[in-house]
Amino acid sequence: MDPLKDDPYFDIRNFSLSINKSKILKNITVKIPQNRITVIIGPSGCGKSTLLNSMNRLIDLSEDLETSGSILLKGYDIFDPMVDITELRRKVGSISQTPNPLPMSIFDNVAYGLKIHGIQDKAITMSTVESCLNKVGLWEEVKMRLDAPASTLSIGQQQRLCIARALAVEPEALLCDEATSALDPISAHQIESELLLLKNNYTIVFVTHILRQAKRLADYVVFVYLGEIVEYGPADTFFTEPKDPRTKAYIEGTFG
């Protein structure tokens, strides 16, 4: 439990959220440790993605949003009005369930983040793009056609491209919302391997409804049910000795 006590990356305190007057998250209190993979599990529609999207304030794009409580990123409340959202989102990258390449070439997709955050130098851009594509194992596959439209890649490649794109701006955290659900098993496996390598340098929060995936990836597990945190803790004890009966039922497949 040590990494949780000292210096969590996200410290979420009594965070509630409603959209269009309906409450989606209720009094969420949880700590997300640095440089580990924290997996959020739970049945569909219970608020996992909403919680995830709150951590980089992509949730701001929703209708009629009301929040209370706070989400602290290394001590600073990300909902503070003085916060620069573009910088927050640079620090906290996000990967969606279905790959969303931008309407540009493979190279430009990865370079996009650099461009908007002010990096003009061509040499730096080139080397960053190459190293990020390498980190996701795409470089060898695409280096001969960096100009090709990103939409010509296979779905698995596109998703890895999205990860490379997120890495290019040197984030501190990566939020993954069911990032492998839309992929074939081989691509899914590739991405899981990459995440396991990346976790040493990035705080990764991964939402999934596949328990086996959670077991493969997690250092810490958070169980969200009906908008509330039911239980959270280190992965080994979580799966073997769940404390809450609901957790036990979910893990055993009784519901969800």
Is the distance from CB of 186 to CB of 106 less than 8 angstroms? no
Check binding of 182 to other proteins (CB under 8 A). Answer: no
Is the distance from CB of 176 to CB of 117 less than 8 angstroms? no
Tokens of 33: 């440790």
Check binding of 181 to other proteins (CB under 8 A). Answer: no
| Cβ distance to other proteins smaller for residue 60 or 241 | 60
Q: Where are the beta strands (DSSP E) in 115-157?
A: none
Give the residue, chosen from 1, 116, 126, 226, that forms a contact with other proteins under the rule CB under 8 A: 116
Tokens of 156: 């698995």
Compute the distance between CA of residue 183 and CA of residue 181 in angstroms, rounded to an integer: 6
**Contacts with other proteins, 73-112, as mask; x by CB under 8 A:** -----------xxxxxxx--xx-x-x-xxxxxx------x
User: Which one of 4-12, 43-51, 56-64, 225-233 is the stretch in contact with other proteins (CB under 8 A)?
Assistant: 56-64
Pairing of strands 8-19, 22-33: antiparallel
Is the distance from CB of 167 to CB of 132 less than 8 angstroms? yes
In angstroms, how far is the first alpha carbon of the chain from the final one? 28
Tokens of 168: 């290019």
| Cβ distance to other proteins smaller for residue 109 or 247 | 109
Give the residue, chosen from 4, 78, 166, 205, that forms a contact with other proteins under the rule CB under 8 A: 166
What number of chain residues touch other proteins (CB under 8 A)? 34
Q: Please, what is the minimum distance in Å from the beta carbon of residue 54 to other proteins?
A: 13
Check binding of 149 to other proteins (CB under 8 A). Answer: yes
183: left (phi over 0), alpha (psi -120 to 50) or beta: beta
| Cβ distance to other proteins smaller for residue 134 or 151 | 151
* Contacts to other proteins by CB under 8 A: 56, 58, 61-63, 84-90, 93-94, 96, 98, 100-105, 112-113, 116-118, 149-151, 162, 165-166, 169
